[in-house]
Amino acid sequence: KPAQEKPTAASEPVALNGKHFLSQPLVSEIYTADPSAHVFGGKIYVYPSHDIDAGIPDDDLGSQYAMRDYRVLSMDRIGGPVTIGGVALSVEQVPWAKEFMWAPDAAFKNGTYYLYFPAKDKDGVFHIGVATGATPTGPFKAEAKPIPGSFSIDPAVFTDADGASYMYYGGIWGGQLQKWAKGHYDASVGDTDLKQDALPALTAKVAKLSPDMKSFAEKPRDVVILGEDGKPLLGGDHDRRFFEASWMYKRGGTYYFTYSTGDTHFLAYATGDNPYGPFKYQGHFLLPVQGWTTHHSIVDWGGKTWLFYADNQLSGKNHLRNVKVTELHVNADGSIQMVDPFVP
Ligand code: FUB
């Protein structure tokens, strides 16, 4: 393995403000982030980004997140030993992709495992690809082209009780969502949000997947998040509006659209009664972690609900992150209890 993959004790930072980390990294042999957790056949599989140090300085577009492959983590039980799978898919094996293998997700249908991933093409534009495999840990074989009509980053695939699957996706700034605001890619749009603070915020997108799980069955729709006034959250509402890291969690009949607020570093949730929304903003459920990004998934396992997330405890560097898990508590009224990633 390249030397930079091995975190060292010397690089371990001191926890913030004299507080200690709530939970410890799932693995320390490689750097991992953006954990999408699934239970397949009773076992827990985590599909993370595989962070590397490409020697690129930090910038607001996330150029330092120059990842090139995926490896799947698996465990029989939460808290038990974690196995790091071999390379499940690398950028060289994706005909259309050039670089930046960011946050992936996975799904299972009719005996096939699907790996969904964003990457930049040779023109520097993010699209979302799909690859298939016979086992949850891969290897996966990528389709020759990205999913038609896909753009931006952070795919999260949710399969509802009726068997229909939906992809939620999108991320602003380096994730380029703002460049698609007019329905096509516009390179002249800036590398921030639209700077339209009093207008409805940019939204994540959602589209039902076709039965073969390899294309959109419909034109992607906006994932609208409403404030208490019944109106869409505004672009200037940085503490609450969507930035990136979509995840759909269903509990009973309630659909929880969860996401990162990005530049304000919260994980937030909004609820609705169907997969498309609109969703009513409810609040934050993870306070800022150490490091710029966090990105998560929520999964039920063993009669409990679990939050997988990431920080940069092992490296102290924004682009060399580590995946963690902690229990998430949902109250009887459906509200989610706040998680503080630090304890006194
Ligand atoms: O890992 C690269 C990017 O950082 C992800 O796609 C975002 O969600 C953020 O975690």
pLDDT tens for 41-67 read 999 999 999 999 999 998 888 999 999
Q: What is the DSSP string of 259-322?
A: EE-GGG--EEEEEESSTT--EEEEEEEE---SSS----EEEEETTEEEEEEEE-TTTSSTTS-E
Mean pLDDT of 274-287: 98
Angle (CA) 142-206-125 rounded to 5° is 50
Total-model pTM: 0.95
The number of CA neighbours under 13 Å toward the Cβ of 242 is: 34
pLDDT confidence band for 7 (50 / 70 / 90): very low
pLDDT tens digits for range 172-216: 999 999 999 999 999 999 877 888 999 999 999 999 999 999 999
C-alpha torsion sign, points 87, 102, 295, 334: negative
pLDDT reported for residue 190: 82
Atom of ligand 1 nearest to the CA of 33: 1
Length of the chain: 344
pLDDT reported for residue 267: 98
Atom of ligand 1 nearest to the CA of 260: 8
Report residues whose beta carbon is within 6 angstroms of any ligand 1 atom.
33-34, 49, 62, 65, 102-103, 153-154, 171, 244-245, 293, 295
pLDDT confidence band for 344 (50 / 70 / 90): confident
Which residues are tagged catalytic? 34, 244
pLDDT tens digits for range 251-273: 999 999 999 999 999 999 999 99
